[in-house]
Structure 1
Amino acid sequence: MAVALVLLLVAIAMDAVGTDATLPLHAHSSFPFNSPDRPLVRFSLPDTHNFSTLLLSDDHDTLYVGARDAVLSLNVSAGDVLTLKKKVSWRPTDSDVDVCRSKGKNATMECGNFVGVLQHLNASHVYACGSFAFNPRDAFLDADTLAMTRLPAARGRCPFSPWQRSAALVADGELFTAVMADFKGVTPLIARHFSKGGRPDVSQELSPILLEEADFVGSALDAAQRKVLFFFNEVAKEFNVRDEQHVARVASVCQDDVGGVQILQKKWTSLVKTTLRCLPPFAVLRDIVALPPPPEDGESAHTLFYAIFSSQWSLRPESAVCAFRLASLREAFAGPYRHFDAHTHLWSPLQAKSSDFGQCGLEGASHSKLEEVKRTFLTDGHVDPEQSRPLLVSTRHRYSRVAVMSVRAADGWSYQLLFLLTENGILHKVFLSLRGPRVIEEIAVLERGDHVTALALSASKGVAFVGSWGGVTAVPVARCSAHPSCGRCLLARDPLCGWSRSRKLCARLDQEPGQEECICGGGCQ
């Protein structure tokens, strides 16, 4: 019965979004691993594994890599050329491993130091945090030399388990994290660390209703409103149903929150959350990335978040991709809200809006107002995607990572290119045209048996970097020369490629000024 219901919901979903949002069965071009027509650059070291975290420098000339028992910096100034600059070893002692193993953990798979967090702390240092044999440790790294300054404790800054995801970002030198903060991996915590100006570090009340079995996915900064956003999945309790229903959420906290005076001391007074809704049954958030508006726009509310969703129940490899506008998130956080009754354990909508929930500057609020804040943190509404439907639905692939870039095509319009990556290393480059999504390329970027761990995109270098268990792979965002004729160049409909009249080949639009969309057999030849 459950499988039939899922299939029915998928069928309804397909009908709702229309065939224009459903990916075709085959990409325009498909390249197997190590295809000479789509060469890749691979970096690996014989004694280093689990390249799980990628961080680009501000100038995109250096790629910092968090691996098992090490942090590396790679020179990527040439884009698709990867060379080792520095490597620092950061491994637990034999005693640390023995303690980890005595607690029932696998010495090989779990008791190393899996570096899961890398963030730019300031212009000169990078912050790093690793699982360190199920006893998290963190450090400051010199951005040039990787010289390490180790810190005394790191609980609540990265997970104990190397298999749990977390979210982290640095804003104004302060670290904001969302992580499972205990050995068993059952206590979710959103917190601020390294607080400046004499302010205390803050975290949330450890109430089971605040974050229900949370699974953290990503984070973002709403700089204009001085708020930090955390994206995660959790079990929805507001529906009062017997079965556990997982939903995607986004939580918001104020950067400058210092907690209350009488109650909520050193606790968030601004933490609120709302629901992201893509398309039933695609309710589980897998990955999310932000695309800011172009500089000439200047309005941060136009920032778009591109998110991958999968189904909680489906046994098939399928995914949906939805886009959410920052303005829509802000609107949802404006209310109305639901109120939690501690006696009945039920949620009920508030009859009137309030300006208090999710607002900054409540440190001086009264005891009664903060008591209300403690019980009112879930919005009554939800956030719908742009155009109220997914950008695309795939019934053949379960995507795990997403990256996006905006490009200006030969027709003068700006379009978005999505890079969607499966866990086993199949990369789809998807052109979001006005006619609907189109898979321009399908590229196998990993060897069989390898496993995707991270994806980072440098639009300025024109390269996507894929982290995996075995290394880092550089994938140029376009290989226009793979289209050998004018006709095939134009039929690819790749907004990064155009036919060069002078060189008589398919070339990058941003590297060859003489290309234009034209009719083959005429001026193109």
Structure 2
Amino acid sequence: MKEGLSSVSTLLVNEDANTLFVGGRDAVFALDLNNISREIMQSTTLCKFYFYFQIRCQNYILCLHKINDSDLHVCGTNAYYPTCDHMIVILQGEAEESRGKCPFEPAQKHTSVFVDGEFYSATSNNFLGTEPIILRSMRNPVRTEFKTSWLNEPSFVNTEIVHESESNPNGDDGKIYVFFTETAVEFEFYDKLLVSRIARICRGDLGGKRILQRRWTSFLKSRLSCSIPELNFHFNIVQDIFFLRRRKWQDNRGLHMTKLSVCAYSMKNIQEVFSKGSYKGPVTVEHSLPVPRPGASIDNFARSVGYNTSSDLPDKVLQFVRDHPLMDNSVNPIGNRPVLLKRGSSYTWIGVGRVTGLDKQTYNVMFLGADDGYLHKAFNCDGEMFIVEELQLFLSPEPVQSLRLSSEKVELLSLHMESNC
């Protein structure tokens, strides 16, 4: 462990600068990717505010996002007063109050993404963790409603951007997808039932004019299904998500990992659930579905009938999406079953790297971190996933909480791969 580096919470790989940024308690470290024991830079982030309880002032760095080749966006707990700052080699000292952008304490589940000067975050808006929020800040702030039908005791896992506006004949908008687990509101059980969710919001969403002011008018969510149909066994609690990106966004794949399984989803299927699926609610509602379609982005059709921004949408559309954020259709995995099932393991982290084998073929290698400190490597052979290697990362059994794959370094792992399919 690097001296002075403790409570590591987040990692960021910058391939261009050959640097690994590490966020820990009270500091951000920049380490050489070729030799991570060599420190390039350390930036101290001691907090500026003290909570009214007599506790030690600590700032746990939980968010690190690349703005450009030299700039980072950094967020920390700041002694229960979340703040974010701009970092150019060292922090600029312009920390701003960042409720809803960063958790109040490091144990709270959160996720965020920084894109084109916009910061999207999914966390808690208050100290007690009772106000879950999905927020866009910095430009045109918009957030979710504090309603259980929107977010019900969620545990946020990951956030991804999909550029659905690229080469889109319908003039559709880019999307932000948020993955999380929450307590289901659509089922009646004596005990709480946790389900995996995928939520979608449109990047061009500005909120409504009268209804849903500064609230998402495009927030929709669906159940993310991962099960073994013949056994009627469902893997409901998502542990991690990895997005496998292709040149065309329609070819993207999402990998949903639970403690025992991995399911894969096509971007096309995800899109169809939100753009064509039914809404959860009374059957009679479907016969009076307002136009434009509730929760949809502003596209060519909406513009052709006079709706150029979300603030132009009629109240009937906004009332509907406010009261019906849940889709009736689930997002089902490719093949309707897991691509990998490993009994006896408890997975905590997933990543995928494209590597070249000795046969000169390119493979997608799945890396799976487990709670016993092992890293499993798996790849597809004739339609079936095989675990080809197990690496012990820690001397004593400790959960793999966070890893980052370097696309350049992953190639080195491919030297010992051969195709025996």
| Map of 2:130 onto structure 1 | 186
Identity of aligned residues (%): 27
Q: Which residue, out of 231, 238, 250, partners 1:285?
A: 238
Question: Pairwise mapping of residues 4-19 of structure 1 onto structure 2 (< 5 A)?
Answer: none
Q: Residue by residue, what CA displacement relative to the aligned partner does 1:132-186 show, whole Å, maximum 9, x if unpaired?
A: 22221111101xx234333220110011120122111112111111111210112
Alignment of 1:54 onto 2:11: yes
Q: Residue by residue, what CA displacement relative to the aligned partner does 1:451-506 show, whole Å, maximum 9, x if unpaired?
A: 5331110122228xxxxxxxxxxxx63573xxxxxxxxxxxxx34xx8xxxxxxxx
SS at match of 2:330: strand
Amino acid aligned to 1:127? H
Structure with more relative contact order (C-alpha pairs < 8 Å, separation 6 or more): 1
The alignment's TM-score, normalised by the length of structure 1, stands at: 0.71
Matched residues in 2 for 1:154 and 1:131: separation? 9
Matched residues in 2 for 1:124 and 1:100: separation? 37
Please, what is the CA RMSD of the aligned residues?
2.4
User: 1:322 offset after TM fit, Å?
Assistant: 0.8
SS at match of 1:251: strand
Matched residues in 2 for 1:411 and 1:230: separation? 38
- Flag the 1:351–1:428 CA change in 2: closer, same or farther, 3 A: farther
- Between structure 1 and structure 2, the one with the greater Rg is 1
The answer on whether the counterparts of 1:337 and 1:376 sit within 8 Å (CA) in structure 2 is no
| Map of 1:363 onto structure 2 | 311
The alignment's TM-score, normalised by the length of structure 2, stands at: 0.87
Matched residues in 2 for 1:169 and 1:245: separation? 28
Alignment of 1:231 onto 2:179: yes
Matched residues in 2 for 1:281 and 1:227: separation? 28
Alignment of 1:350 onto 2:250: no
SS at match of 2:391: strand
Question: Pairwise mapping of residues 463-502 of structure 1 onto structure 2 (< 5 A)?
Answer: 477-478=413-414, 480=416, 494-495=417-418
The answer on whether the counterparts of 2:371 and 2:397 sit within 8 Å (CA) in structure 1 is no
Alignment of 1:306 onto 2:291: no
Amino acid aligned to 1:395? R
User: 1:340 offset after TM fit, Å?
Assistant: 4.9
* Structure 2 stretches lacking a partner, 5+ long: 166-173, 228-232, 299-309
The answer on whether the counterparts of 1:138 and 1:153 sit within 8 Å (CA) in structure 2 is yes
The answer on whether the counterparts of 1:335 and 1:380 sit within 8 Å (CA) in structure 2 is no
The answer on whether the counterparts of 1:70 and 1:115 sit within 8 Å (CA) in structure 2 is yes
Matched residues in 2 for 1:268 and 1:440: separation? 44
| Map of 1:334 onto structure 2 | 275
Alignment of 1:115 onto 2:64: no
SS at match of 1:380: coil
User: 1:425 offset after TM fit, Å?
Assistant: 1.7
Matched residues in 1 for 2:188 and 2:362: separation? 45
User: 1:399 offset after TM fit, Å?
Assistant: 0.6
| Map of 2:153 onto structure 1 | 213
Q: Which residue, out of 32, 37, 55, partners 1:75?
A: 32
User: 1:309 offset after TM fit, Å?
Assistant: 1.3
Matched residues in 2 for 1:284 and 1:353: separation? 32
User: 1:407 offset after TM fit, Å?
Assistant: 3.0
Report the more deviating stretch, 410-419 or 368-377.
Answer: 410-419
- How many pairs align? 396
Matched residues in 2 for 1:72 and 1:270: separation? 38
| Map of 1:166 onto structure 2 | 110
- Flag the 1:61–1:348 CA change in 2: closer, same or farther, 3 A: farther
Matched residues in 2 for 1:286 and 1:435: separation? 24
SS at match of 2:321: helix
- Flag the 1:339–1:389 CA change in 2: closer, same or farther, 3 A: closer
Amino acid aligned to 1:45? K
Amino acid aligned to 1:233? T
Amino acid aligned to 2:235? F
Alignment of 1:132 onto 2:85: no
SS at match of 1:357: coil
Matched residues in 2 for 1:353 and 1:409: separation? 52
User: 1:84 offset after TM fit, Å?
Assistant: 1.1
SS at match of 1:418: strand
SS at match of 2:96: coil
- Flag the 1:284–1:349 CA change in 2: closer, same or farther, 3 A: farther
Matched residues in 2 for 1:257 and 1:125: separation? 27
SS at match of 1:334: helix
- Flag the 1:71–1:121 CA change in 2: closer, same or farther, 3 A: same
Matched residues in 1 for 2:263 and 2:256: separation? 5
The answer on whether the counterparts of 1:336 and 1:380 sit within 8 Å (CA) in structure 2 is yes
Alignment of 1:406 onto 2:354: yes
* Structure 1 stretches lacking a partner, 5+ long: 1-43, 311-318, 342-346, 464-475, 481-493, 499-516, 519-525
| Map of 1:439 onto structure 2 | 387
Matched residues in 1 for 2:72 and 2:118: separation? 12
Alignment of 1:222 onto 2:162: yes
The answer on whether the counterparts of 2:2 and 2:37 sit within 8 Å (CA) in structure 1 is no
Q: Residue by residue, what CA displacement relative to the aligned partner does 1:55-83 show, whole Å, maximum 9, x if unpaired?
A: 1125261111111111111121x3x6542
Amino acid aligned to 2:28? V
Alignment of 1:256 onto 2:204: yes
SS at match of 1:363: helix
SS at match of 2:52: helix
Question: Pairwise mapping of residues 386-401 of structure 1 onto structure 2 (< 5 A)?
Answer: 386-401=334-349
Matched residues in 2 for 1:222 and 1:48: separation? 34
Alignment of 1:63 onto 2:11: no
The answer on whether the counterparts of 1:122 and 1:173 sit within 8 Å (CA) in structure 2 is no
User: 1:378 offset after TM fit, Å?
Assistant: 1.0
User: 1:265 offset after TM fit, Å?
Assistant: 0.9
User: 1:413 offset after TM fit, Å?
Assistant: 4.5
Matched residues in 1 for 2:281 and 2:93: separation? 44
User: 1:241 offset after TM fit, Å?
Assistant: 2.7
Matched residues in 2 for 1:157 and 1:364: separation? 28
The answer on whether the counterparts of 1:337 and 1:353 sit within 8 Å (CA) in structure 2 is no
Matched residues in 2 for 1:445 and 1:289: separation? 21
Amino acid aligned to 2:369? L
The answer on whether the counterparts of 1:338 and 1:348 sit within 8 Å (CA) in structure 2 is no
User: 1:348 offset after TM fit, Å?
Assistant: 8.2
| Map of 1:513 onto structure 2 | none
SS at match of 1:305: strand
- Flag the 1:352–1:395 CA change in 2: closer, same or farther, 3 A: farther
The answer on whether the counterparts of 2:27 and 2:42 sit within 8 Å (CA) in structure 1 is yes
